[in-house]
Structure 1
Amino acid sequence: MHDHAHGIREGDSRRLLAVSLALTGTVLVVQVVGAILTGSLALLADAAHMLMDGAALVVALIASVVAARPADDRRTYGYQRAEVLGALVNGLVLLGLCVWIGIEAITRIASPAGTEVSGGWMLAVAAVGLAANMVAAWLLRHAQKHSMNVRGAYLEVLGDMLGSVAVIVAAVVILVTGWTLADAIASLLIAAFIVPRAIGLLREVFSVLSESAPQGTRVTEIREHLRGAPGVRDVHDVHVWQLTRGAPVFTAHVVVEHDVLERGGSAALLTSLQGCLAEHFDVAHSTFQLETVGHEDRDAAHH
């Protein structure tokens, strides 16, 4: 069996998500109280982002548990697509959050009169948020490489971490100069940072749902590699897609010489082809239909 997790098991990912959720929830309370006490829009925006981080982590945990359920007669590939749906929710939430932050910031910039922000408390609370997000990002850094769902949560943590940096800078500006509009500008910077990452996550989700070939997969190269196997004359009707991040699926029709089947070499050939894909192209789940020369499926031969 090929191990895509490279040492990161699903149970480990769930534990990391749970620890990150506990950190997020604790800091969220601190940030909300701090936003109320200081009157900081940037801190409130960062608290809202932290709330969305918590929601994303909850979705990630639920999706991770559901995805671990075994396949059945109705869902023959199991429930791994639950991770993709979780990532879809995360991406949409991020975009909605950006709209809210942008509207609130522009409103405050347009009407700055009477705006008071306590820079000292703002700085202290933002520093606590930054520390917590750094810990959460460190915990999730390896697992996010192998799970689209964990990656969605990881990107939100990164976004909130840089958001905390923006709040800290705004707080320092307010303390030094008294210019409270730095708070609203920091809010816009938080939104600007979130948008491209949310779009990138949604693009990856739609790529999976549309069953496109995984990014970086060269179908022509795979086909030519398989054609070089002993006894193989042609490879056609090739399809490559992924159930979720790190779970590519490959199917193809393989045209072989007559003597391959006559001498009972089909099992050895299948084992060789599957091992080739797993070793060279990191594809652990592959299915081949063997056809002899002259009897290939002509309807599919154009693929």
Structure 2
Amino acid sequence: MSQTHHESPSACSSHEHSHGDGEGHHHDHAPEVTADSEKRVKFAMYLTGGFMLAEVVGGLVAGSLALLADAGHMLSDTVSLALALGAFRLGHRAATRKLTFGYARFQVLAAFVNGLTLLAIAVAILIAALKRLWLPSEVLAGPMLVIAVLGLVVNIAAFWVLHKGDQENLNLRGAMLHVMGDLLGSVAAIAASLIIMTTGWNQADPLLSLLAAALILRGAWSLVKRSGHTLLEGTPEQLDHADIDAGLAALEGVESVHDLHLWGLTPQSPIASLHVVVAPGAVAIEVQQRVQAYLRDEHEILHVTVQLEGEACEQGCVTM
């Protein structure tokens, strides 16, 4: 049921929250996290965690920095995938009075932590590789090659499972980047072992570790930047602030728009809040509905808060 209220002689506020089709009002702000994504992360966690021990043993026996670096990365992956799994499960929890948006943003926080962990691991690999270049040591290429090939198979399987999931989900994307780092580490270890076997040049091990670390750094920075942007309530990548502002101003009955804020709990759940000055003679509630429909239909923004202002509100506005 609608009701009329008066704010002031010159303006009034109309706060409208649209969810889904705009019919009715509910508080399910958290995007649905599919059981499929959760299963994929769990499977990848078991794969990486199970093979990590073999890489540790193989790296120690062979004296390979590339293998040990990859094992350390796999240890981080196991922890990060467990964190991602926890984030998925928290996403199912209902909102509370203290957490009125629920736990959806924990996924973004987990992705941010994953990215920082990747950066730290890459820097550690770079430092260790530089030290090994100055003080080279003997590497047993045979055992190193066997472990590296097995690791590559495991990482390809884990990457394929995650790649088939929702790539717009930052949490799943972070998990996939971790596994990608593992895969690159395995490739580097295989290449290093083959070079050492054919040429005896032990410095191939730290050199290829440097290459793998550089690739990990690139992916980690992208993840930290994207998740950090969401945590800072930046405009979601798929939305153009200027375009939306112009589109709203062009709507019938809209005199002007100001204080337009675009953000989101996650990149997949954009939210908008704005002030709309209603043109003289326009019906406030109709303007409100046009704004709601435009943001929902043209930009897939399902949660909208609109404050109406102007002479059209002198007699009161309708709150839905």
Interval containing the TM-score (normalised by the shorter chain): 0.7 to 0.9
Aligned partners of 2:312 and 2:289: how far apart in 1?
23
Tell me if 1:95 matches 2:119.
yes
Tell me the alpha carbon deviations over residues 125-169 of structure 1, each in whole angstroms, 9 at most, x when there is no partner.
Answer: 111211221222222224352211111111111111112111111
Deviation at 1:259, TM superposition (A): 4.7
Aligned-CA RMSD value = 2.1
Share of identical aligned residues, percent? 40
Which stretch has the larger CA shift, 98-107 or 163-172? 98-107
- Equivalent-residue separation in structure 2 for 1:294 and 1:72 (angstroms): 37
Aligned pair 1:80/2:104, yes or no?
yes
Deviations 1:177-209 (A, max 9, x none): 111111111211121111122222221222122
**Partner Cα separation in structure 2 for residue 284 and residue 126 of structure 1:** 47
For 1:215, which of 211, 233, 237 is the aligned residue?
Answer: 237
| SS of residue matched to 2:236 | coil
Equivalent residues of 2:282, 2:312 under 8 A apart: no
Distance 1:144 1:36, change over 3 A: farther
1:11 offset after TM fit, Å?
1.8
Q: 1:52 maps to which residue? A: 76
The one-letter amino acid of 2:234's match is S
Paired positions, count: 285
2:48 corresponds to which of 24, 36, 39: 24
Maintained 8 Å contact 1:141/1:154:
yes
Q: Aligned with 2:99: secondary structure?
A: coil
Contact 2:184/2:212 (8 A) holds in 1? yes
Range that drifts further, 138-147 or 10-19: 138-147
- The residue type paired with residue 278 of structure 1 is R
Mapped partners of 1:146, 1:190: distance in 2 = 25
- State the Cα distance separating 1:255 from its structure 2 match: 2.2
Which residue in the other structure is 2:217 paired with?
195
1:1-303 correspondence to structure 2 within 5 Å? 1=20, 9-112=33-136, 115-257=137-279, 259-261=281-283, 266=285, 269-293=287-311
Q: Is contact 2:67–2:148 with CA below 8 Å preserved after alignment?
A: yes
Structure 2 CA distance for partners of 1:143 and 1:291, relative to 1, 3 Å: farther
Q: Which amino acid aligns with 1:256?
A: V
Letter in 2 for 1:34: G
Alpha-carbon distance in structure 2 between the residues aligned to 1:137 and 1:293 = 58
1:270 is displaced (CA, Å) by: 3.9
Question: C-alpha separation between the residues in 2 aligned to 1:141 and 1:270?
Answer: 41
Unaligned runs of 5+ in 2: 1-19, 22-31, 315-320
Going by fraction, where is helix more abundant, 1 or 2? 1
187-196 or 209-218, which deviates more: 209-218
Distance, in Å, in 2 between the alignment partners of 1:72 and 1:9 is: 18
Ranked by relative contact order (alpha carbons within 8 Å, sequence separation 6 or more), the top structure is 2
Residue 32 of structure 1 aligns with an amino acid whose one-letter code is V
Q: Give, in angstroms, the shift of residue 65 of structure 1.
A: 1.4
Structure 1 residue 269, shift from structure 2 partner: 4.5
- CA shift digits 1:202-244 (9 cap, x unpaired): 2122212221212252212101112222322222210011212
The one-letter amino acid of 1:177's match is: T
SS in structure 2 opposite 1:143?
coil
Q: 2:288 & 2:48 partners in 1: Cα distance?
A: 48
| Whole-Å separation in 2 of the counterparts to 1:21 and 1:27 | 10
- Partner secondary structure for residue 241 of structure 1: strand
Distance 2:105 2:118 in 1: 20
Cα deviation code 1:68-92 (max 9, x no counterpart):
2221222121111211221121122
Normalised by the size of structure 2, how large is the TM-score?
0.82
Structure 2 partner of 1:299: none
- The answer (yes or no) to whether the contact 1:94–1:195 under 8 Å persists in 2 is yes
State the AA in 1 paired with 2:305: T
